[in-house]
A and B are shown apart, each in its own frame.
Chain A
């Protein structure tokens, strides 16, 4: 138990340090950006610029601005959006986190479930046409960018067949189907490839041979032993998968006009909206750091072989 506490404690400290560094670096990067965040800056007179800078606190020394920003974050205040009619960034993001999380979760679930199925099918029928078929899908999934997939499904299902909405977020679940589909391609391919190699490894191990020797049927072996043992290491790739999804969502949300974080980010990049860019960066980093942490803990629990925690002293 004490080992668990030190493990989790040290990881939490590390996470906090990571976040602090990320916030700091983003802050100073943002302030090194060329240009000002104001619209029509060419039309602004010097006096107006001075006044605007004063209003937003850009006239103070950088260090003071930084400290003020850090203090704000601790109170959940991420500053004011410079582009969207002076709304606090927090309110701006609050409405957009929902759709992004929903899309991300749906894509992860759909992608991994299909990917695990494909990978397991391929491994169980290694070197047959089933294997080649499943592996081809996985390779295609890695080779076709998700925005190309997005445009393809959009043209087929929304524009030609008119089955689903082209974009926006106004038809509930129906609006989520196409973006989820496009977004799930990458996790699907990753999971399929991972499970296939993992399972081929497991299927040649001694305890599987034993199960075979004892006369256990092949499907039972695959489902009961091989699949279960291949699923555990999958935990380790979920972190990178989530990072990939964030990247993907930037474009997918823009293509389908989903009012999510990714679309917000793309918009704020193009308009130098300092505070929004920083908030989104921090949000993405926080999610990633947390997912990686959770997966580490989960892995410790799930796989006794890698358990560093609790090994000594017991």
Chain B
């Protein structure tokens, strides 16, 4: 039986303030004079609200005024949905039920998952060694291009079938693209881990720490965000040798800033709530407060933020490789493929447009997923 059923004679507790208010006035005018008497006794001006509160707490002052017949539990109507009738669904399940209807987001998620599966099975799927050069097969178009057969025949490669063609060193572009996608997706995972490990922790600590520590941590953030992150990354890459590890180290310096800010802001809000204040007063350790009270409440925002920061990380890697400080030669990433392809885009357009298309699909899937998740997880943003 829910709270609503205990209400007096069908008056739902929520309505008491309003409805009973009217009742009291009515009673007064009816000449019962109950209030007036009490008013005289207490020698205060009429305070209807206070009387109502009293009445609710103690029950009516004069039980005889309300017939006993009214004090029966309300019969539950058939169509009456109260909280107990609805099966309890966990937050995640509810989110999934709503996300299910967002066809675009689901499609994007499927594309993403397939991309991850395909890219990470690159060693199995790739038809050739991505770095193996074979100069006599340089710059061959994909074998299914209309004029491809002729070109393959000219250099005596009739029995070769390069699905996406070859680059200037005769390397198989499909293999390079598979390995390159794997690098880009690896970077996306690392960015996510960094965002959580550094960003969320920083935000939580800053939000729950003392004023002075918080101030200090905020100043540090301000200084780091004073430099455009690309510049920081480039400087770091100049100092360390280019390569995947350096890109990751460089990202560790800047990529968690926005996350830290968002988490801190939310933490401050939640910290001011009464139940958290109570926990603090009761001497709950800060770490426990962070994990038990704050984190569950900001999980949604963290997930949304995460989905938006991942594409940025992928972008960055391609940018770095594009300006020549990213991945180490001869390893392929989508960025290096784009850079190589860009140099010959006039002559062999496929060398740039194919990796470009793959990059766009990755970015698009992440963004669509992020949008879908935001609509589902953040009720305020729901369109």
Q: For A143, what are the chain B residues with a Cβ–Cβ distance below 8 Å?
A: 311, 360, 363-364, 366-367
**How many A residues have CB within 8 A of the partner chain?**
49
Nearest residue in B to A154 (C-beta to C-beta)? B345
> Is the C-beta of B40 less than 8 angstroms from some C-beta in chain A?
no
At the interface with chain A, which of B1-9, B57-65, B75-83, B218-226? B218-226
Partner of A142, one of B238, B322, B363: B363
Given A251-B323, A269-B325, decide whether A145 and B359 contact each other with a Cβ distance below 8 A: yes
Nearest residue in B to A289 (C-beta to C-beta)? B226
Partner of A246, one of B230, B239, B322, B367: B230
State A26–B236 Cα separation when bound (angstroms).
10
Given A126-B383, A143-B367, decide whether A251 and B319 contact each other with a Cβ distance below 8 A: yes
- Contacting pair B322 A147 (CB below 8 A): yes
Partner of A201, one of B236, B241, B368, B380: B380
> Is the C-beta of B172 less than 8 angstroms from some C-beta in chain A?
no
Q: For B360, what are the chain A residues with a Cβ–Cβ distance below 8 Å?
A: 143-145, 148
At the interface with chain B, which of A96-104, A110-118, A216-224, A280-288? A280-288
State A227–B43 Cα separation when bound (angstroms).
55
> Is the C-beta of B116 less than 8 angstroms from some C-beta in chain A?
no
- Contacting pair B226 A18 (CB below 8 A): yes
- Contacting pair A251 B222 (CB below 8 A): no
- Contacting pair A269 B323 (CB below 8 A): yes
> Is the C-beta of B227 less than 8 angstroms from some C-beta in chain A?
yes
Q: How many whole Å from A12's CB to the nearest CB in chain B?
A: 13
> Is the C-beta of A200 less than 8 angstroms from some C-beta in chain B?
yes
Q: How many whole Å from A207's CB to the nearest CB in chain B?
A: 18
Given A139-B368, A197-B381, A269-B234, decide whether A285 and B226 contact each other with a Cβ distance below 8 A: yes
> Is the C-beta of A92 less than 8 angstroms from some C-beta in chain B?
no
B-side interface mostly: helix
As a 0/1 sequence over residues 75 to 119 of chain A, the CB contacts with chain B under 8 angstroms (1 = contact) are: 000000000000000000000000000000000000000000000
State A281–B235 Cα separation when bound (angstroms).
9
Q: For B381, what are the chain A residues with a Cβ–Cβ distance below 8 Å?
A: 197
> Is the C-beta of B243 less than 8 angstroms from some C-beta in chain A?
no
- Contacting pair A243 B222 (CB below 8 A): no
Q: How many whole Å from B191's CB to the nearest CB in chain A?
A: 16
> Is the C-beta of B190 less than 8 angstroms from some C-beta in chain A?
no
Partner of A285, one of B231, B241, B371: B231
Q: How many whole Å from B22's CB to the nearest CB in chain A?
A: 25
State A131–B345 Cα separation when bound (angstroms).
35
- Contacting pair A22 B363 (CB below 8 A): no
As a 0/1 sequence over residues 319 to 361 of chain B, the CB contacts with chain A under 8 angstroms (1 = contact) are: 1001111000000000000100010011000001000100110
> Is the C-beta of A74 less than 8 angstroms from some C-beta in chain B?
no
Q: For B366, what are the chain A residues with a Cβ–Cβ distance below 8 Å?
A: 143
Q: How many whole Å from B8's CB to the nearest CB in chain A?
A: 33
State A269–B21 Cα separation when bound (angstroms).
76
Docked complex: A130-187 residues within 8 A CB-CB of B? 131, 139-140, 142-145, 147-148, 151, 155, 159
State A143–B342 Cα separation when bound (angstroms).
18
Q: How many whole Å from A242's CB to the nearest CB in chain B?
A: 9
> Is the C-beta of B229 less than 8 angstroms from some C-beta in chain A?
yes
Q: How many whole Å from B140's CB to the nearest CB in chain A?
A: 22
Partner of A145, one of B315, B324, B346: B315
Nearest residue in B to A147 (C-beta to C-beta)? B322
> Is the C-beta of A270 less than 8 angstroms from some C-beta in chain B?
yes
- Contacting pair B318 A22 (CB below 8 A): no
> Is the C-beta of A17 less than 8 angstroms from some C-beta in chain B?
yes
> Is the C-beta of A306 less than 8 angstroms from some C-beta in chain B?
no
Q: How many whole Å from B358's CB to the nearest CB in chain A?
A: 11
> Is the C-beta of B87 less than 8 angstroms from some C-beta in chain A?
no
Q: How many whole Å from A293's CB to the nearest CB in chain B?
A: 10
Partner of B239, one of A22, A29, A270, A281: A29
- Contacting pair B315 A266 (CB below 8 A): no
State A127–B383 Cα separation when bound (angstroms).
7
> Is the C-beta of A211 less than 8 angstroms from some C-beta in chain B?
no
Q: For A265, what are the chain B residues with a Cβ–Cβ distance below 8 Å?
A: 234
- Contacting pair A29 B235 (CB below 8 A): yes
Q: How many whole Å from A69's CB to the nearest CB in chain B?
A: 16
Which of B311, B325, B338, B383 has its CB near the most chain A CB atoms (within 10 A)? Answer: B383
The 7 closest A-B pairs by CB, nearest first: A143-B363, A247-B230, A143-B364, A18-B226, A243-B228, A285-B227, A289-B226
Q: Please name 8 further chain A to chain B contacts, defined as beta carbons within 8 Å, in addition to the given A18-B223, A126-B383, A140-B364, sorted by A numbering.
A: A34-B241, A139-B364, A144-B360, A147-B319, A147-B338, A277-B235, A285-B227, A288-B226
